[in-house]
Structure 1
Amino acid sequence: MIKQKLLAVSTFILFCTFVSQSAATSANKYAYEISRKDLLEEALLYQFAEYFNEITGGKAYGCQKILNIKRIEESSNRHEITAQLLTYEGAHNPPNDLYVIRFSVEPPGEGEAIEKAKFKIIKVDKTKNIPEEEILKICKKKTK
């Protein structure tokens, strides 16, 4: 029930983000446009926020992105995902630590509730105190 509410709220937020972004794009030809791929990535990453908060010890983070996603077995819904995120303190202040998290996720079993999806951490790489030049590269947005 909670997951369904979270999904509904995240869908609404994504819709509002898309609508507001479309309005900004219409008003300014140089505005950043969100592609369908970016929206899907954002929605997927949002589903793992609880785990990312646990991994980072509750630190604020941003610049999250999916580096790789693959199906574990050809005919299954099990996936291995590699994501990266950058932690910060306060108003995006250092120290900034880069996390590269590889995990697997599989759907709930037959008859299990949707919140029973299985999340398993495979590997976490943490690089401390990322320099500002590197942060700019990591967080760079693609523009059209």
Structure 2
Amino acid sequence: MHSSKLSTKPGVCTLLHMSPAVCAAAIKTAQQSGLSLQDWLDHRVSYAMSDNDVMVEFGLDAVAPWSLAAAELFVQVANSAPHALQGRWALLYERVNLDRSLWREPKQMVGEIEDGAEVFEPYISLLKLRAAWPRLCATVFCL
């Protein structure tokens, strides 16, 4: 029996025991789907935890909060009114807020600002968030 150690954030460690055959199959399937092993495992764990018939029929993207539609709504609310997020959604926002790689920070020249142009503020990038969405949902909603 081999063990695989996945590290998500400093201070958080997941130890997963797998047989060599299962480990090889997981790595192969993750590569075929174009995901890292950690992302693929996040998808599979999220899928296994749901007993929803829609989830079984259409997969991970069909059920909130894991769905990409939920990700799009989250980005809209988080970028315009983050104070409106409550409960686990507020926790999710805090995690996104700490991961600056998910943010887009538009560049602006000082002269433009001095000339009265609107000041651009950083915002959450939907494309970057979509890539991290399964991992983020797994850490917040699968506690």
TM range (shorter): under 0.3
Higher relative contact order (CA 8 A, sep 6+): 2
Larger Rg: 2
Could you state the TM-score of these two structures normalised by the residue count of structure 1? Answer: 0.25
Structure richer in helix, relative to its length: 2
